[in-house]
A = this chain, B = another copy of it.
Amino acid sequence: MLKRTYEGQDCSIARALEVIGDRWTLLVIRDVGLGRRRFDELQSSLGVATNVLSDRLARLVDDGVLERVRYSEKPERFEYRLTEKGAELRTPLLALMQWGDRHLSPRPPRVARRRSDGANVTVALVGPDGAVVLPEDLEVVRT
């Protein structure tokens, strides 16, 4: 197993990967975002070992990405919901989906749409004026 922290990495990507840098973790977040909220639903969707799923869910709750909410008293039952912090992972996840659609999937299995009119939604780099920024006009610099 890789260690969970990256010494000397002052980088928000590295920090983000400390929280979600494991494939099952991102797929759990995807599934909760798609409405699969109960342990058994997640387990059956992902086909992941129950101990791995328990571990990832507990870590995501600790990290403030998911919350565990009781939705039934008798019998007592819990489900997982994305926090606002977790819900904001929609952009990286959709960016990954878009890359996978373009390079790895013969036809996109799912599509991101605008609910109001069904128009396709893409993930784009934009400036403060809303203009799309082309790759050659992008730079990433230390602050």
Contact = CB atoms under 8 A, between A and B. Distances in A.
Interface of A: 2, 6-19, 21-24, 26-27, 30, 33-34, 46-47, 52, 64, 85, 87-105, 107-116, 119-133, 135-143
B12 A101 contact: yes
B23 A22 contact: yes
Given A34-B140, A121-B125, A99 B91 contact: yes
A128 B120 contact: yes
Contacts of A14: 23, 27, 100
A92 B90 contact: no
Contact of A111 (B27, B47, B125, B140): B140
Contacts of A113: 138-141
B11 A110 contact: yes
Contact of A16 (B8, B34, B104, B143): B104
Nearest to A117: B127
B19 A104 contact: yes
Nearest to A102: B88
